[in-house]
Structure 1
Amino acid sequence: MLRLTAEKFHYQVMEAMTSVKEIYTLTNVPIETSVSRDLITEELLTDLSIDFRDISEVNKIITQDDETDKPPSEFEQELENLTAEYDTALEIFQNLENIDYGSSKIVARTAQPARCLTVKMLLLAKQIQSRPPKPNDPQRVLISLRLNQLRKQYNNPELSAQTNPQEIKRQVAEQIDEWLAVNAAEKQIIEESISKLVIAADTGRKLSKLIDDYANLNFEVIATRVTQIIGVTANLTGRDYSSVLTKMKTLESAINEDPTLRDFIREVSIKNRRTQLSQPKLCQEI
């Protein structure tokens, strides 16, 4: 039962991290050839920082390819490290039947990466909630280009004579509606990502508590608590975002009151502020 809970936690962590990667990735939106050519032409003519002796730089501008040989960002690397961290722990969880439960050191060592991931999921949810990314900015760029073209057309007597001003205003209204739709879609995927992070952190906290109490529980109690863990997290979805935010606050309070997890969240918070001088003693690979 403990192993199955650990595997469920692993699945939730992977699902949460996949959603986080999506909201921090700017997707390239296809631009009409004429619009794209105009943008490139204007950049080549007006951007004085371009070094035309740098062939690779000019090539990136003309081809609009900025991904070639691009190293992973620090944020992406951190996500990869999180994955590797718990993959190592999962191997131990999957062999729990062979562990000597009389050794508290082995149990604590088994739970260590899960506890570290638990607090990292919570802190990541808080970070996204307080400073949400803008994954849909490429779509906003396209709308801005269209609005700019419509403005030029509206204010240019020669162009406006060819198109009814009321028609231009109608097209502007369409772009406003599209912008609002982009905002709504972005808000939804960010809220869903935060929900998945909170779900994972909640499962991790309960898994940590279950491991702490394991030696003193019989099978029936463990089975009941595992069922409760899976049931509660299954009911927590992004459909009711206010409940997710409430859960995030209560979860943070519960972690800070937990004698085991409190040190983990303190260490990870210090590490995130980059003020820690020594090597972390808790959140490190086994």
Structure 2
Amino acid sequence: MLRVTAENFRDRAADAITSVKQIYQLHDLPTNDNSAIDRLLNDTSIQFAIPGEVNTIITGKSQQNIHSSDVDQALDSLQLEYDTAVEVFNKIETIDYESARIVAETAKPARCLTVKMLLLAKRIQERPPRPNDPERVLISIELKRLADEYRNLTISSQPQAEEIQLQVAKQEEIKRQVAKQIDEWRKVNFFEQQSLNESILKLLVAADTGRKLSELIDDYPNVSFEVLAARVTQIVGVATSLSGNNYNSIITKINTLQNQINQDQILKEFMKEISVKNRQMQPANSQLCQ
């Protein structure tokens, strides 16, 4: 039953980490077929024998993932910690001698990994990445073009009524286009925030699962199988209580979970220790969670 709970913790952490990887990657710029055609016909430096180079021009998607980014490497290392922690539970099932003692020792990595999920959620909420900035760049370019066009509108020194009307019409059309770009910018903000909220929620679900797992490990020697099974069923269903993408509710959930962790003296110490080590540029090979 503990192994099932630990695997559930690991799976939710893996889902959250995958989501975090995505929000730390800039979105590819949408392609323009006309510019792709022009470049394919006129750029003599293109090496057509290299499919990846041609694919980049046609799709706009560079194949940069061959070399992982620092963020990906850090998240992969974090993922490995969860995988390693679950392996402990797989081994416990084959050991009778001193298994209770081994179970007690698993509380430390469970608590540590719980805190790491919460701290990652807090980091994204406080200093969010901007994966949609390429879209904002395109909107900014269009806004600059419209601003230049608006400023360059001229009227002769002795304007006719028709010329004035045409000028006003052009100004109104530019304002309409600017309003449209403002609306597009707000949509970019909305969908970006929605993706950030989804990632934070997944991290909170994993953290809450880990918190309950560590409680279960503490109570392991003192509860019956029936009680344990009921607790595990409740833990596996924890995600339903952490749903919704409202930004204010995200803040509330982070604060609630942090308060629950601070009520556990051991988890509170882990929170303090990991936070300090993070500020001191904790090395990647830290032994804290092992």
Shorter-chain TM-score above 0.5: yes
Of 221, 229, 234, the match for 2:227: 221
Compared with structure 1, are the counterparts of its residues 106 and 186 closer, same or farther at alpha carbon in structure 2 (3 Å cutoff)?
same
Q: 1:93 Cα deviation (Å)?
A: 2.0
Normalising by the residue count of structure 2, what TM-score does the alignment of the two structures yield?
0.78
Contact 1:29 1:139 in 2 (8 A): yes
Q: 1:105 Cα deviation (Å)?
A: 4.2
Compared with structure 1, are the counterparts of its residues 275 and 167 closer, same or farther at alpha carbon in structure 2 (3 Å cutoff)?
closer
Q: 5+ unaligned residues in a row in structure 1: which ranges?
A: 37-58
- Classify the secondary structure of the residue corresponding to 1:208: helix
% identical equivalent positions: 54
Contact 1:31 1:142 in 2 (8 A): no
Matching residue of 1:205:
211
Compared with structure 1, are the counterparts of its residues 35 and 170 closer, same or farther at alpha carbon in structure 2 (3 Å cutoff)?
farther
Tell me the distance in 1 between the aligned counterparts of 2:131 and 2:226. Answer: 46
Tell me the distance in 2 between the aligned counterparts of 1:269 and 1:135. Answer: 25
What whole-Å deviation, never above 9, does each CA across 1:168-201 have from its counterpart, x for those lacking one? 2211111111001001111111111111111110
1:22-171 correspondence to structure 2 within 5 Å: 22-32=22-32, 68=64, 71-100=67-96, 102-157=98-153, 164-171=170-177
Contact 1:198 1:244 in 2 (8 A): no
Paired letter, 1:32: N
Q: 1:217 Cα deviation (Å)?
A: 0.8
Tell me the distance in 1 between the aligned counterparts of 2:234 and 2:265. Answer: 22
Q: Which moved more, 1:63-72 or 1:91-100?
A: 63-72
Paired letter, 2:152: N
What whole-Å deviation, never above 9, does each CA across 1:64-113 have from its counterpart, x for those lacking one? 99865885443322211111111112222234322337445422443443
Tell me the distance in 1 between the aligned counterparts of 2:183 and 2:281. Answer: 45
Contact 2:17 2:75 in 1 (8 A): yes
Tell me the distance in 2 between the aligned counterparts of 1:28 and 1:219. Answer: 52
What whole-Å deviation, never above 9, does each CA across 1:121-155 have from its counterpart, x for those lacking one? 00011111111111111110010111111112222
Paired letter, 1:181: K
Matching residue of 1:192:
198
Higher Rg of the two aligned structures = 2
- Classify the secondary structure of the residue corresponding to 1:175: helix
Output the aligned Cα RMSD: 3.0
Tell me the distance in 2 between the aligned counterparts of 1:26 and 1:109. Answer: 41
Number of aligned residue pairs: 258
Contact 1:195 1:241 in 2 (8 A): no
What whole-Å deviation, never above 9, does each CA across 1:188-234 have from its counterpart, x for those lacking one? 11111111111110000100110111111101111111122223322
Matching residue of 1:233:
239
Contact 1:267 1:282 in 2 (8 A): no
Contact 2:139 2:185 in 1 (8 A): yes
Tell me the distance in 1 between the aligned counterparts of 2:73 and 2:200. Answer: 20
Tell me the distance in 2 between the aligned counterparts of 1:189 and 1:267. Answer: 30
Compared with structure 1, are the counterparts of its residues 232 and 103 closer, same or farther at alpha carbon in structure 2 (3 Å cutoff)?
closer
Q: 1:156 Cα deviation (Å)?
A: 2.0
Q: 5+ unaligned residues in a row in structure 2: which ranges?
A: 37-52, 155-165
- Classify the secondary structure of the residue corresponding to 2:87: helix
Compared with structure 1, are the counterparts of its residues 101 and 264 closer, same or farther at alpha carbon in structure 2 (3 Å cutoff)?
farther
Paired letter, 1:265: M
Tell me the distance in 2 between the aligned counterparts of 1:119 and 1:273. Answer: 15
Matching residue of 1:11:
11
Contact 2:100 2:221 in 1 (8 A): no
